[in-house]
Structures are given as structure tokens and as C-alpha cells.
Structure 1
């Protein structure tokens, strides 16, 4: 394996490289599978340059390799690969998750100043500003006059929690009824593999709460994306951002039984969609969300 200074790589490169690696794993790509930079760029909604840089990082880690025709291919099995060992998170990403959890647990105030965050986390002002701008881009914070910032009202309190799940039932079920709904079977296959991975990890009591949140969110966003309605899809993404802010700490402590149950419910919904039984899929989805809201369990 070639030596590479991971600390010198940008947060964008590391994050995109990790997302590419997760997608290749969940798509079930074996060693020798060819990689298309243009297709990757389209899939992640970025230009080819950052994809090429992320793939170069994966190549330096021995995960992808050149082909005889100047392309790239997967170099090794990914199912038994320890992602964190070969591609650790950037310090920026780690701090983003820490702030998310602390805000979720109520340890970080809703209104904060840059000076307070500097003292709390002991990082340069530029890092704090990058993180705050990221929260703003995710719709989770906005600037106040001066150097203050306010995190958005999230799911604090029973009323807000109930309203969020009521909204999700309306929006996500509407997505299934959209006249332009078209099942993306390739995406569904990826979602299935990710759920199977989570179930196996949960059975071994070794699953990662952040990973499970991402898989959970990808299921709900994936269904909404199939609606062909960009506004429905965006509404689901925004709700997931709010959920990440408020529920991220809960995902870490979820009982194994709840993780396995949620996986089964998600797969049953996919089964119904793939069979063309859209009314049944909608009933299952509404039941899934209603149960999650009643028992205050992430769903």
C-alpha cells in the first residue's frame, strides 16, 4: 500500500472518498469491477474533479487500482474491510458529529457565539466558521446579528416531535402516490445490502449508530427520490437533517431489537414497491412511521 498523508487531505476529499467506498460496498462490487468517474460524479452530484481526487486517495490506500486500459477498478474485497482503519474521518467531520450529538443531547445551547464555540472546542476560528456554514447549508442554523448563531428549532418537546412525524407521514406517503413514481431497482438493491450489513452488525452488537442513521435516511430519501418530485424529495431530506440534529444521540443507544425490526419493516416496504403493490407499501410505511412516533423510536 502506498503511503499517503491523510491529515493533509481536505475534509471534502475524505468525505467523498468514504461515500464512494460505502456505495461500492453496498452495491456489492467485487474486485475487478470497473469504475466510471462520470457516473460517480452524476451519482454524487459533483464535478469529475473531486471524484477523481477521492478515487486517487482510494488508490493510494490500495482499494482501487488502474486497469490495463487506463481506467480504474476495485482492487480488493470490500465486505471485510475496516473502513475507519484505512480511511479515518477528517477532524472537521468528527467535530461536526460531536456538535450534532451535543446539540441533540441539549449540551450545546440553541443560540451560541463564535467565541463560545472557540472556547468550548479549542479549534481555530476558521474551523468553527466552516462548521457553522455547513450547518447553515444543511438548513440547521442561521446567523444572528454580530457573531451569534442560532440552531433551528428541532424536535425538542412532544408537540414538535409529533408534528414532525405527522408531516413525514403526509409527505412520504404522498411520494409513493406520485403519478411519476418509478422504482429505482439499482438503488433499492444498494439499500437492501446496506440494511443486511446493519442487521449483521446489530446481531454481533457491533453496529455504528451514525452508520445506521445514514442507512435509515437513505431508505426514506430513496423512496422520495423515486417520486420524481424534487420538492417531495427535498422535504424528506430536510426532515432527515432535523432528525440528525435531534435524534443522532438516540441512534447510538438503540436496542438491537429495534434496529432489526426497523430493517425488516424497511425491506417489507421495498418488497411491496417492487411488486407494484403501492397501496400496501403506503400502508406499511404509514404504520412504520406511526409506530416510531408513538414509541419515540427513530424510524
Structure 2
């Protein structure tokens, strides 16, 4: 397991991505200095994990180290806008993803054990337990009697997906319209940049995993903007179920591009404070996504997106 031992820690990976987001939001350019203390203050962490995250970014060629000046940004932040595909993943993240894929394909049972997963994935006990803890924290599994875990209900069937859209059609627009909704401006700017960078890719290079990450972040931003704590908690819990594999199976790149344009249209109105229009557009967006028929956007309310969406 020597190779696995050299894998980066999940918290260092998360912090590395946060550093990239911060320098993008702050408008840092190529060659900008990245003092550890300043980055620690911007990310609200201590210098020790910042040092590890900067080393990780240095290994990936995104940051460079010079003895005279310290760490400097080696890339244009826009280059890394679409997602974190250039960063490696922690071993527990890979195991967690493998567990979800295998459960989605019914290759493993509803009830699982650490010992069974250790044998299945030829992984260390520590990494498997971290993966299980991660899935438990994300509310995807729960402890069962003895040394086992059981999968919670998920969006793994047509009936469950239909119920999911019914829930979202009620709750997400309501979150926007509830008194006190607040949009995280910096987060919205970063999301817009990532969406526009994704749309700039040709169809052959369109990154479906990046779309899934951006889509999840967009809807999470809406959930977390709700002033009503019960709405926010219910939506946040439901969004975790959408991480399961297969959510985008059978959906064309055309539809994913169309969905991204719809997100941008909704964001336009959120940023301008036109919450009622944003809620209406979100409702139309969810209806089209539920149908998963690209041509449906040419009929009825969804056609509005063509009028307000930003061009490529």
C-alpha cells in the first residue's frame, strides 16, 4: 500500500481547491505571491494545512516555489475554472465513489461491512473506515446493528426520481421566494465563471463530471441562501442523494449545455434581485430536466431561457 500512503489527505485537497477559488475571486494573476499567512487568513485556517495544500498545488504545476519569494501562482486561475479535475483524489474519496457505483449497479448488497469492503477493494482498513464515515456524514448510509452499515433510500428508480423532482419543484422556488433569501455574491461570480468556461468547451471535450459538480454547487447555493432554516436543511439533505452515480445517464450533451444556459439565466435574475422571475425560471428548468427531453425547451415556458440566457 505504499502508493496509497502517498495519496493526499481529503482536507488538504479541499483546501487546495478553496485556495484556487479564493485567488480567482480576488483577481490574482499569474505570478501573484501567495504568502502562507495571507492565504491562511483568507481561508480561515492555520498555516500548517495551507503549507500542505500549497505543496499539493505545486506538485500539480498550479503554484511554484521560489526560495527568494516563496509561493507564487503559476497559472491563470481561469484555466482551472471548470472543476477540480487536475487535482488528485484522496483514497477514501475513491473508495466512497466505488461503493456508490457498485451499489447503483447492484454489485453490492444494501447492507455492507468494513471487512467485506476491505476484501473487495484491496484497501486498508483506515481508508475504508474513512470512506464509510464520509458516506455516513453525507447521509447516504447509516449504522446498522453490529459492524455493518445500510444504505439509506436513494434516487435509484424512476418512482424515486419522480418524487425527487416533485419535492424540488415545491421547495427550491419556495426557498428563493421565502422572506430573507440572500445570494452569496462571491460564490455566484465563481459559479458563473465555471459555467461559462464549461460552455466554451466543444461537445467532444464537454466534461460531464464537471457539469455534475457545478450543477450540485448551483442548487446548493440556492438551498443555503434560504433564510428559512427548515427549508435549507431539507434541501441540503436531499441534494446529497443526487451525488449517486447514474444521475446523468442517458442525458445528452445538448441538454447539459441547455441546462447550463438555464442556470445562467436564473443567476442573472438572482443577482439583480428579481427573485420572482428567478423562481419561475427555476421551476421551468426543473420541469424540463425532469422530462430529460431537449426538444421540450422549445415549448411553453422553458423557451424563455433562449431570450435571457447568456451566449457561449
State whether TM-score is above 0.5: yes
Distance 1:231 1:278 in 2: 20
- Residues 22, 182 of structure 1: CA spacing in aligned structure 2 closer, same or farther, 3 A cutoff? closer
- Contact 2:12 / 2:52 at 8 angstroms: preserved in 1? yes
Worse overlay, 182-191 or 137-146: 182-191
Which sections of structure 1, spanning at least 5 residues, go unmatched?
none
Matches of residues 273-284 of structure 1 in structure 2 within 5 Å?
273-284=270-281
Distance 1:126 1:6 in 2: 11
Distance 2:5 2:125 in 1: 22
- Contact 1:28 / 1:193 at 8 angstroms: preserved in 2? no
Q: Which secondary structure state, in structure 2, belongs to the residue aligned with residue 251 of structure 1?
A: coil
Distance 1:243 1:63 in 2: 30
Distance 1:150 1:296 in 2: 34
Distance 1:39 1:225 in 2: 23
Matches of residues 116-195 of structure 1 in structure 2 within 5 Å?
116-195=116-195
Residue of structure 2 aligned with 1:255, choices 252, 255, 258: 252
- Contact 2:83 / 2:213 at 8 angstroms: preserved in 1? no
Distance 1:77 1:6 in 2: 31
Q: Deviations over 1:158-182 (max 9, x none)?
A: 3322222222222211221122123
- Displacement of 1:51 in angstroms is 3.6
Whether 1:233 aligns to 2:237 is: no
- Contact 1:41 / 1:48 at 8 angstroms: preserved in 2? no
- Displacement of 1:131 in angstroms is 0.8
- Displacement of 1:80 in angstroms is 4.1
Q: Which secondary structure state, in structure 2, belongs to the residue aligned with residue 205 of structure 1?
A: helix
- Displacement of 1:139 in angstroms is 0.8
Number of equivalent positions:
287
Q: Deviations over 1:12-34 (max 9, x none)?
A: 21343245336645876422456
- Contact 1:176 / 1:282 at 8 angstroms: preserved in 2? yes
The residue that corresponds to 2:6 in the other structure is: 7
- Contact 1:221 / 1:233 at 8 angstroms: preserved in 2? no
- Displacement of 1:100 in angstroms is 2.0
Which sections of structure 2, spanning at least 5 residues, go unmatched?
295-312
- Contact 1:184 / 1:226 at 8 angstroms: preserved in 2? yes
- Residues 85, 104 of structure 1: CA spacing in aligned structure 2 closer, same or farther, 3 A cutoff? closer
- Residues 103, 221 of structure 1: CA spacing in aligned structure 2 closer, same or farther, 3 A cutoff? same
Whether 1:208 aligns to 2:197 is: no
Distance 1:39 1:13 in 2: 16
Distance 2:184 2:84 in 1: 29
Q: Deviations over 1:254-297 (max 9, x none)?
A: 42101101001101101122232211111111111122223399
Q: Deviations over 1:183-225 (max 9, x none)?
A: 3332211111111122223x24223333221100111111222
Distance 2:26 2:284 in 1: 28
Tell me which of the two structures has the higher relative contact order, counting C-alpha pairs closer than 8 angstroms and 6 or more residues apart: 1
The residue that corresponds to 1:93 in the other structure is: 93
Q: Deviations over 1:18-74 (max 9, x none)?
A: 4533664587642245654245434xxx66643443134324545335799988652
Q: Deviations over 1:96-122 (max 9, x none)?
A: 222222223333322122232222211
Whether 1:57 aligns to 2:56 is: yes
The residue that corresponds to 2:289 in the other structure is: 292
